[in-house]
Structure 1
Amino acid sequence: MITRMQTLKRKMETLQEEEKVIHAQSRKRVSHLNRLYSLSSLLDEEYESWSKVRLDRFMVDYMLRNGYSNSAQQLAKKQGIEELVDVDVFVQCWTIEESLRNKKTTECLAWCAENKNSLKKIKSTLEFELRLQVYIELVRERKLKEAVAYSRKHLSSSHDTHPDEFLRASCMLAFPPERPGPYKDYYAEGRWDHLVKTFVSTHHSLYNLPQEPLLHVALAAGLSSLKTPSCHSTLSTRHNTACSATSLCPICSTELNELAKPVPYGHHTTSWVDHDLIVLPNGRVYGTKRLAELAGKLDLGDGKYRDPISGEEFEKSEVRKVFIS
């Protein structure tokens, strides 16, 4: 009885320490949000300071998600935002990710056991997928007796919830990896990548973390406000592949073009265009005055225009007037 009480005491002390850390983090994060709430305007000087802290948070979050744990921890410590970011959570996530990439399931299964009740609530299939992969590896190595024993112990209980997968797993015993037959997908190395993605998605869902980096979420909002249908046209892509330095549109740049593809177009109620539009032979449309000023600066002469984006030069006789109806 005394031993049990001592064990319980140690567990309670551990939980108390964890609770203190969580409370400290919560107070710090609420204080961070209160700073923004207390600002009277976004033009306030304090907003710039608050924005820098937010950017640091985004950078730490991005680095943690991509495995740069040491750099992320150093940045968080230097900027004093350790309580505003979930360093330990992401470090644990990345460690398990790496173990799965190295084809090891032990750490991930231990994590599943630790969070078993929570995983049941969100109806996660992660543990079953891991158990199935262990079974597949035993079959791949032709350790059939061990595979059958493992299936009886860990997979048979999932017969009702995953009947098709359980049946296929049982039948694949007769098909070696050299002749996989209809079980080629089970033997495929890509299943490990699938496990990594499943774990990360499950982990983030369990901790209520965004599936995408916060930096991407913030960028997407800005990109969407600038994006127009022409940004991903064939013409735009062709002229901006070689060099994005000449592009006047951030979305058309090679650095941001791919990232902006999945975001929606910005809703613009008013369009602003030059009144003296002409179309160049490459299909781009500009104002005559604007091209004339550029030609003057570049000393092209009276008979030529230069495309400010692609750098191509055209004779004035090649351009056509554009009328908006």
Structure 2
Amino acid sequence: MDIDPPPNGNTTTTTTVDPSPPPPSNLPQLSESLKLEHQFLRVPFEQFKKTIRSNHRALEKDISAVISTVNVVAASDLSPDDAVNHLNSLISRLQGLKRKLEEGNRAENIQAQRCRARIDHLESADAENMSEWNNTRLNRILVDYMLRMSYYGTAVELAECSKIQDLVDIDIFQEAKKVIDALQNKDVSPALAWCAENKSRLKKSKSKLEFHLRLQEFIELVRAENNLEAVKHARTYLAQWGATHMKELQRVFATVAFKRDTEYAIYKVLFEAKQWDFLVDEFRQEFCKLYGMTLEPLLNIYLQAGLSALKTPNCYEDDCPKEDPLSQEPFRKLATPLPYSKQNHSKLVCYITKEIMDTENPPQVLPNGYVYSTKALEEMAKKNNGRIICPRTDFVCNYTEVIKAYIS
């Protein structure tokens, strides 16, 4: 509100109104996006928490060691030279701790920046740039699919070309790739290290991955006919599982007697190469659960959801319109195991008014075969002295020539 004195000395009040309307809110679009973007936000957040926990554990370990050393030195009767040496050792250790804290702080900042970038991306969804936003989402979904299918090089190139490095999880999948490659080469060491690093989280989810890795180690020792080492391994790593997995342990321990060339199927299967494939699949499942990822690639989920929404019994009829994606055989095969759309009843919508045609506003058929609502044709007849003009073919007729259609 501006108050300006006029030339004659009287005071008048003038109100300045901003004619531009307030910017439209993108809250509805954001809310809809958040329903589908749980993994998109959860993954970097879980990685952020993991980095913080790792830095905290390292800090506690070093601080505890330094304090312990100080207490020992303080309680000892050391010569001046020995005291100086101990102090120099402590200073070196504290300097190393400082470097670790700086590195940890940089890692945390990177993770926080990634979380911020993803939140900003979701908040940028509005009507003006929805096409561009959806293109970015499509690229994210494709990168996710490529990473899960082990096409790492292509995924990196697409992310770089699209400039969406902060919106995809390449580094996390690279971490998983090292474990998967090792398992495919019959090496459980990286997988066991990963289990140790995430021990508390895996314990909460009651994961059996570490147990199965230890069992495979036992089987490999038996395969090599190193039974003594196999027994030592069982006492060291498998005894702790006896209370909860005794049946599995008994079955595996029996391989010491039946050997690798046994013909008994129950033991023979334990020596087959596919056991390593089972471990790879189990690791992938635990990896996805740890970071809150979906077990299926996002591309599969979106594609299945879309096909299921379109799938109706009419899609498999010979007269299915060509505009329907399910009229094509490849899409029909993909949709075969999917459920039908829950919309059991069709709706007739008037081409002119876009209103639903029902018993209150029944459809009427023109002589040329096109159907419109009673409301639309009555309004058109009033404006044109009882004449009807088909908006799609320009066919002209009298209102008395239309025929009412009945919905059963």
Q: TM-score w.r.t. structure 2 length?
A: 0.59
2:70 alignment counterpart: none
- Which of 283, 300, 305 pairs up with 1:221? 305
Matched, 1:8 2:8: no
Partner-residue secondary structure (3-state), 1:67? coil
2:120 alignment counterpart: 31
- Which of 190, 198, 206 pairs up with 2:290? 206
1:17 alignment counterpart: 106
Query: Following superposition of structure 1 onto structure 2, how do residues 103-252 of structure 1 map, counting pairs within 5 Å?
Result: 103-181=186-264, 182-229=266-313, 249-251=324-326
In structure 1, stretches of 5+ residues that fail to align are 237-245, 274-288, 291-323
C-alpha distance after superposition, 1:22-48 (max 9, x if no partner): 111111100111012xx2xxxx34110
Structure 1 residues 157 and 180: alpha-carbon distance in aligned structure 2, compared to 1, 3 A threshold = farther
C-alpha distance after superposition, 1:8-62 (max 9, x if no partner): 33432332122111111111100111012xx2xxxx3411011011011011111
- Which of 134, 158, 161 pairs up with 1:75? 158
Alignment length (residue pairs): 262
User: What is the identity, as a one-letter code, of the residue corresponding to 1:27?
Assistant: R
- Which of 44, 47, 65 pairs up with 2:130? 47
- Aligned-pair distance for 1:180? 4.5
Tell me the distance in 1 between the aligned counterparts of 2:314 and 2:294: 30
Partner-residue secondary structure (3-state), 2:339? coil
Matched, 1:94 2:177: yes
Structure 1 residues 4 and 230: alpha-carbon distance in aligned structure 2, compared to 1, 3 A threshold = farther
Tell me the distance in 2 between the aligned counterparts of 1:219 and 1:266: 14
In structure 2, stretches of 5+ residues that fail to align are 1-65, 67-89, 349-367, 370-406
Tell me the distance in 1 between the aligned counterparts of 2:235 and 2:298: 43
Tell me the distance in 1 between the aligned counterparts of 2:130 and 2:280: 39
User: What is the identity, as a one-letter code, of the residue corresponding to 1:165?
Assistant: E
Q: Structure 1 residue runs of 4+, over 6 Å off?
A: none
2:343 alignment counterpart: 268
Partner-residue secondary structure (3-state), 2:220? helix
- Aligned-pair distance for 1:203? 0.2
User: What is the identity, as a one-letter code, of the residue corresponding to 1:166?
Assistant: L
Tell me the distance in 2 between the aligned counterparts of 1:204 and 1:24: 22
Structure 1 residues 178 and 66: alpha-carbon distance in aligned structure 2, compared to 1, 3 A threshold = same
For the aligned residues, what is the CA RMSD?
A: 2.7
User: What is the identity, as a one-letter code, of the residue corresponding to 1:270?
Assistant: H
Tell me the distance in 2 between the aligned counterparts of 1:154 and 1:10: 36
Tell me the distance in 1 between the aligned counterparts of 2:238 and 2:263: 21
Tell me the distance in 2 between the aligned counterparts of 1:140 and 1:247: 59
Structure 1 residues 247 and 150: alpha-carbon distance in aligned structure 2, compared to 1, 3 A threshold = farther
Tell me the distance in 1 between the aligned counterparts of 2:100 and 2:203: 23
- Aligned-pair distance for 1:269? 4.6
Query: Following superposition of structure 1 onto structure 2, how do residues 280-295 of structure 1 map, counting pairs within 5 Å?
Result: none
Tell me the distance in 1 between the aligned counterparts of 2:340 and 2:203: 39
2:334 alignment counterpart: 259
Given that 2:145 and 2:297 are in contact with CA atoms closer than 8 Å, whether structure 1 keeps it comes out as yes
Given that 1:65 and 1:94 are in contact with CA atoms closer than 8 Å, whether structure 2 keeps it comes out as no
User: What is the identity, as a one-letter code, of the residue corresponding to 1:52?
Assistant: N
Given that 2:261 and 2:268 are in contact with CA atoms closer than 8 Å, whether structure 1 keeps it comes out as no
Larger Cα-atom Rg: 2
Structure 1 residues 132 and 94: alpha-carbon distance in aligned structure 2, compared to 1, 3 A threshold = same
Given that 1:136 and 1:186 are in contact with CA atoms closer than 8 Å, whether structure 2 keeps it comes out as yes
Q: TM-score w.r.t. structure 1 length?
A: 0.73
- Aligned-pair distance for 1:127? 0.6
